[in-house]
Amino acid sequence: MRVTAGEHWAELRDVGDMTWADQEAWDAVWNDAIFDAQREQYDPETGERRMIMSADGVSMVPVKVVPKITSAMAITRTDNLLASLITEWSLTGLELPYRPGYKRQVPLAFGKELDKALAPYIEVLTDAGPKETEPSSASGSSSKARPRTSPKG
C-alpha cells in the first residue's frame, strides 16, 4: 500500500502479509499492563489473593485491579506497527526500519496519513476486521457459506 502526503510517500506491506510477530508486537504492550494488574491482585509475600470487604459489609471478595493503559502504551503500539510495516519511504536521512525518534522529523500531514493508513491493519490485529463465514464445528451445520458465482463461471 502506498501512502502519500505532498511530496512524501511510504510503501507499507499488505495487510495480508502480516505475521504472528506483528500480532505479538501489537499485543505485548497491553499484555504487560494486564500481567502487572494480575500480579497486584496477590500479596507478594504470601502469594495469597488480596481480599476486600464487599458492599454488604459482611463478606470478603477478591480485589480486582484494572490494567493501567496509558497513552504512551498506545504510541508504542503504533510505533511497533510502523516499524514492521514500512518497507520504503521518501524521507531521506531516516533509514528503515522506522524508529520512534523519527516522529520529530516526519511532517505532520504525512504522519497523519500514515496514522489513517494503519486502520485496516489495526482492524485485523484487534479482530475487528471481516471474519470468514465458515461455521464452527460445534454448530452441527453441514452447509458452508460460499461466494456467489455467475452461471457462466
pLDDT digits (tens, 9 = 90+) for 75-101: 999 999 999 999 999 999 999 999 988
Query: What H or E segment, with its residue span, contains residue 22?
Result: helix 20-40
Provide the pLDDT for residue 137: 46
pLDDT in tens, 44-76: 888 888 888 888 888 888 877 778 888 998 999
Provide the pLDDT for residue 128: 60
Residue 94 in grid coordinates: 531516516
In whole angstroms, give the CA distance from residue 136 to residue 124.
20
Cα–Cα separations (whole angstroms), residue 37 to 20, 74, 126, 142: 25, 17, 21, 43
Instruction: Strands of the chain (E only): list them.
Output: 2-5, 8-12, 51-53, 60-62, 86-89
Tell me how long the chain is.
153
Bridge partners, 88 (sequence order) = 11
Confidence of residue 146 (pLDDT cuts 50, 70, 90): very low
pTM for this one?
Answer: 0.66
Report if residue 48 sits inside a domain: yes
In whole angstroms, give the CA distance from residue 153 to residue 146.
14
Q: How many domains does the chain have?
A: 1
Report if residue 135 sits inside a domain: no
Residue 135 predicted with pLDDT over 80: no
Report if residue 11 sits inside a domain: yes
Average per-residue pLDDT for the chain? 82
Question: In terms of residue numbers, what domain contains 120?
Answer: 2-128
**Phi, psi angles (nearest 5°) of residue 101:** -65, -15
